[in-house]
Chains A and B, each alone.
Chain A
Amino acid sequence: NAGVTQTPKFQVLKTGQSMTLQCAQDMNHNSMYWYRQDPGMGLRLIYYSASEGTTDKGEVPNGYNVSRLNKREFSLRLESAAPSQTSVYFCASSDTRPQHFGDGTRLSIL
């Protein structure tokens, strides 16, 4: 019963460091998504991939890059981490609806 798996679960970075967050799903879904959630707030879409080989910007893409490596995997990269990127990052996948979410990566930038 894996569903959507995110790694790592926790990470602390220094300002300026780079980091790739990994996400994999085993439900054969076409679409995958990356969200961030700041304390006390709802989720905001960073990037999404409607199908293998395609990616599009969401609401808050600045400072991030993504790669849809294959149908299963969708990674999120921070090239030069900033304290404003301290957040919980959620990956999700879907075919038509609804979206299935992973348990998140808690990222702190010092």
Chain B
Amino acid sequence: DAKTTQPPSMDCAEGRAANLPCNHSTISGNEYVYWYRQIHSQGPQYIIHGLKNNETNEMASLIITEDRKSSTLILPHATLRDTAVYYCIGFNAGNMLTFGGGTRLMVKP
């Protein structure tokens, strides 16, 4: 599994875009980049994933660099309910997720 590195914490103003970076320089060619978030003490919630191309869904956008060594999760208009810990994960074909420490995003009014 690719080791991922994320900043431990970030702040974002409500209504602004939240850009959460992730480094995954050891990611292999068949590993997807997955993003999950965990709000308070709830179970992790899937957000988005991608392999090479940028992806967008109703929750977020995922920008993956061309060399696939890093990616950025974008929440276009952060709300207070987006305050959570965000996990970037390199996902292997064996279908096991390895969670690191994540980024604690605090959205402030």
Interface segment, one of A14-22, A37-45, A62-70, A73-81: A37-45
Residue of B nearest to A101 (CB): B43
Contact A50 B95 (CB under 8 A): yes
**Docked CA distance A45–B36 (Å):** 16
Contact A58 B43 (CB under 8 A): no
Q: How many A-B contacts at CB < 8 Å in the complex?
A: 52
Residue of B nearest to A99 (CB): B97
**Interface set of B (CB-CB < 8 Å, partner A):** 32, 34, 36, 41-46, 49, 87, 91, 95-102
Contact B43 A104 (CB under 8 A): yes
**Interface set of A (CB-CB < 8 Å, partner B):** 4, 31, 33, 35, 41-45, 48, 50, 58-59, 88, 90, 92, 94, 96-104, 106
Residue of A nearest to B49 (CB): A98
Interface SS majority for chain A: strand
Residue of A nearest to B35 (CB): A98
Contact of A103 among B32, B42, B96 (CB under 8 A): B42
Sort A-B residue pairs by CB-CB distance and give the 7 closest, nearest first.
A101-B43, A42-B99, A98-B46, A43-B99, A101-B44, A103-B43, A42-B100
Q: In the complex, what residues of A have CB within 8 A of residue B36's CB?
A: 98
Q: In the complex, what residues of A have CB within 8 A of residue B101's CB?
A: 41-42
Contact B43 A42 (CB under 8 A): no
Contact B42 A94 (CB under 8 A): no
Contact B102 A42 (CB under 8 A): yes
